[in-house]
């Protein structure tokens, strides 16, 4: 029998409370917010209208934007693919 049933119950509640957010971070759903950097944007960083910040990456000729983790907010996609030549994104 459990010696500390309150502890077990507290742990179960804590695990269930964080499930939705944890699921979003482990396997996020790609959301189409319609917001993308302008085609003529030349900078390394771009700020989404929701306040998330992105850094440009990708192979030469490609434009892929990855979210800067500590600016992540609900509703912002983890990556934005503007142009992909390799199809790996």
| 56 assigned to some structural domain | yes
pTM value is 0.56
pLDDT at 25: 45
What is the domain count for the chain?
Answer: 1
CA-CA distance, 68 to 58, in Å (whole number)? 15
Instruction: Scan for tokens 């939705």, then name that residue.
Output: 20
Binning pLDDT at 50, 70 and 90, where does residue 41 land?
confident
Q: Kindly report, residue by residue over 1-30, the tens digit of the pLDDT.
A: 456 665 565 555 555 555 445 444 444 444
Q: Report if residue 34 sits inside a domain.
A: yes
Q: Which residue range(s) make up the domain with 17?
A: 5-83
Grade residue 54 by pLDDT with cuts at 50, 70 and 90. Answer: very high
Q: Using the structure block, give the residue that is written with the tokens 């990456």.
A: 57
CA distance 63 to 7: 49
Residue 40 lies in a domain: yes
Report whether 85 contacts 59 (CB < 8 A): yes
Tell me if 88 is assigned to some domain.
Answer: no
89, part of any domain = no
């Amino acid at each position: 029998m459990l010696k500390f049933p309150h502890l077990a119950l507290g742990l179960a509640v804590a695990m269930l409370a964080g499930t939705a957010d944890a699921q979003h971070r482990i396997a996020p759903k790609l959301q189409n917010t319609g917001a993308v950097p302008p085609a003529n944007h030349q900078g390394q960083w771009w700020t989404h209208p929701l306040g998330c910040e992105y850094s440009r990456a990708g192979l030469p000729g490609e434009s892929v934007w990855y979210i800067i983790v500590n600016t992540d907010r609900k509703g912002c996609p983890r990556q934005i693919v503007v142009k992909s030549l390799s199809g790996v994104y």
